[in-house]
């Protein structure tokens, strides 16, 4: 029995959480994996109800769970996810971008993953006012840089595709901070002679994600660049509605869609739940690895293929060219599972 903490979030979060609950229940009912899910409050709704975007009970519940699923939260996102990433030392943010057939993607030959450092950089929120100026501290450490570089190289080995790591930075301008990040990646690369290592400036990377995205395998980069580039890479393969992410530490992991709360489509039952359901797939892979549980890998593959087979047959939500509602699409998935 896996204890799952589910943050239901804001905007389209509750609709996506309902879809996630249906799928988790279907898995529990039909496979040899059981989930005990606790729904938790965090984000704008929590702030309104309790005065805290990340209530103490939510933190306590997450700490007691085997893994956390987090639907998107709204304006208070920084007070939720940024805090959780640092509190739980979820140092690696993994954002895959893969082309699947029958998606409105720009290309159909892409299979890359962005490995984003998740605890430092400008996202640490070290900001203050100084007279009439505003200051943000960009702290990059050798230890965090080496840790994420190692994760990226191990990912390239596990994927066993191009066996290539691209370090993305802007060290020609941010010589000291990004200089340290690149140096750390170069140092780590020496332990992986079987993996091709290359460097790219972040502006060139943004261009190449459009021009020749098929050339990327594993991108390793700092926090802010990783956030921006992963929105771009997800659009190249069909949009945010299909983009899952994992926040991984040595002992715990949290899974969430790449996108935000999408208030423009909230409450309309039109959001694509795939981003969150593919986050469950990533969670199954992580649980399978951690607990040496082969069933998790079986169900992970089944869930992924079910989603993409469905899309292939034209059963899609609006964002990817279909006409199914969130609940209709989810129902089809549970039936096929
Ligand atoms: P944040 O800054 O919190 O990441 P954002 O302002 O970039 O949020 P998102 O909420 O990430 O905006 O989404 C951008 C747009 O993409 C939304 O306005 C919505 O139209 C679309 N979108 C995002 N997620 C989905 C989804 N699951 N299904 C369909 N459309 C989506």
Q: What is the pLDDT of residues 249-258, one digit of tens each?
A: 999 999 999 9
Distance (angstroms) between ligand 1 centre and the Cα of 260 equals 5
pLDDT at 153: 98
Which of 73, 256, 260, 324 to mutate for ligand 1's pocket (most ligand atoms within 8 Å of CB)?
260
% pLDDT > 90, the chain: 89
Distance (angstroms) between ligand 1 centre and the Cα of 271 equals 9
The length of the chain is 337
Do 302 and 336 form a contact (C-beta atoms < 8 A)? no
- State which ligand 1 atom lies nearest to the alpha carbon of 319: 29
Q: Is the CB of 260 under 6 A from ligand 1?
A: yes
Residue 199: φ, ψ to 5°: -120, 150
User: If pLDDT is split at 50, 70 and 90, which confidence band does 190 have?
Assistant: very high
In whole angstroms, give the CA distance from residue 261 to residue 11.
5
Is residue 158 packed enough to be buried (19+ CB in 10 Å), middle (13-18) or exposed (0-12)? exposed
pLDDT at 34 exceeding the cut of 90: yes
Distances (CA, A) of 306 to 86, 142, 295, 319: 34, 42, 16, 18
Catalytic residues: 123, 170, 203, 227, 231
The set of residues, in sequence order, having a beta carbon less than 8 Å from that of 33 and lying 6+ positions away, is 2, 27, 284, 293, 295, 296, 299
Tokens of 35: 């989930």
pLDDT at 312: 87
pLDDT at 18: 98
The set of residues, in sequence order, having a beta carbon less than 8 Å from that of 39 and lying 6+ positions away, is 6, 8, 17
Q: Is the CB of 240 under 6 A from ligand 1?
A: yes
Mean pLDDT of the 284-306 span: 96
pLDDT at 168 exceeding the cut of 80: yes
Q: Which residue minimizes the CA distance to atom 21 of ligand 1?
A: 262
pLDDT at 104 exceeding the cut of 70: no
pLDDT at 238: 81
pLDDT at 299: 97
Mean pLDDT of the 206-212 span: 96
Concatenate the DSSP letters of all residues of 85-101 into one string.
HHHTT--EEEEEEE--T
pLDDT at 105: 66
pLDDT at 57: 96
pLDDT at 106: 66
pLDDT at 99: 87
**257-272 pLDDT tens trace:** 999 999 999 999 999 9
Distance (angstroms) between ligand 1 centre and the Cα of 312 equals 23
pLDDT at 150 exceeding the cut of 90: yes
Q: Is the CB of 324 under 6 A from ligand 1?
A: no
User: If pLDDT is split at 50, 70 and 90, which confidence band does 325 have?
Assistant: very high
Which of 44, 262, 270, 316 to mutate for ligand 1's pocket (most ligand atoms within 8 Å of CB)?
262
User: If pLDDT is split at 50, 70 and 90, which confidence band does 237 have?
Assistant: confident
pLDDT at 239: 82
């Amino acid at each position: 029995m896996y204890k799952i903490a589910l943050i239901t979030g804001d905007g389209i979060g509750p609709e996506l959480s309902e879809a996630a609950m249906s799928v988790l229940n279907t898995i529990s009912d039909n496979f040899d994996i059981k989930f005990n899910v606790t729904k938790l409050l965090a984000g704008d709704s929590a702030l309104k109800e309790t005065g805290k975007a990340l209530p103490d009970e939510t933190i306590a519940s997450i700490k007691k769970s085997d893994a956390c699923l987090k639907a998107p939260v709204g304006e208070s996102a920084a007070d939720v996810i940024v805090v959780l990433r640092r509190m739980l030392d979820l140092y690696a943010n993994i954002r895959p971008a893969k082309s699947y057939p029958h998606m409105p993607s720009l290309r159909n030959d892409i299979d890359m993953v962005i490995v984003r450092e998740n605890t430092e950089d400008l996202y640490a929120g070290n900001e203050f006012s100084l007279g009439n100026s505003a200051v943000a501290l960009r702290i990059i450490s050798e230890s965090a840089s080496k840790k994420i570089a190692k994760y990226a190289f191990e990912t390239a080995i596990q994927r066993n595709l191009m066996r290539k790591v691209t370090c993305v930075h802007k060290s020609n301008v941010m010589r000291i901070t990004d200089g340290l990040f690149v140096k750390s990646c170069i140092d780590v690369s020496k332990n992986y002679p079987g993996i091709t290592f290359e460097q790219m400036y972040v502006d060139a990377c943004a261009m190449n994600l459009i021009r020749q995205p098929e050339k990327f395998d594993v991108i390793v980069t700092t926090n802010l660049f990783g956030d921006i580039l992963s929105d771009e890479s997800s659009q190249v393969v069909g949009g945010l509605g299909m983009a899952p992410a994992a926040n991984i530490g040595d002992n715990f992991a949290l899974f969430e869609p790449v996108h935000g709360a999408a208030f423009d489509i909230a409450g309309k039952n039109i959001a694509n739940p795939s981003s969150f359901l593919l986050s469950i797939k990533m969670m199954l892979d992580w649980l399978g690895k951690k607990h040496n549980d082969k069933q998790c890998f079986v169900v992970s593959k089944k869930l992924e293929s079910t989603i993409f087979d469905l899309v292939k047959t034209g059963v899609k939500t609006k964002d990817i060219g279909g006409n199914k509602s969130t609940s209709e699409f989810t129902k089809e998935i549970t039936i096929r599972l």
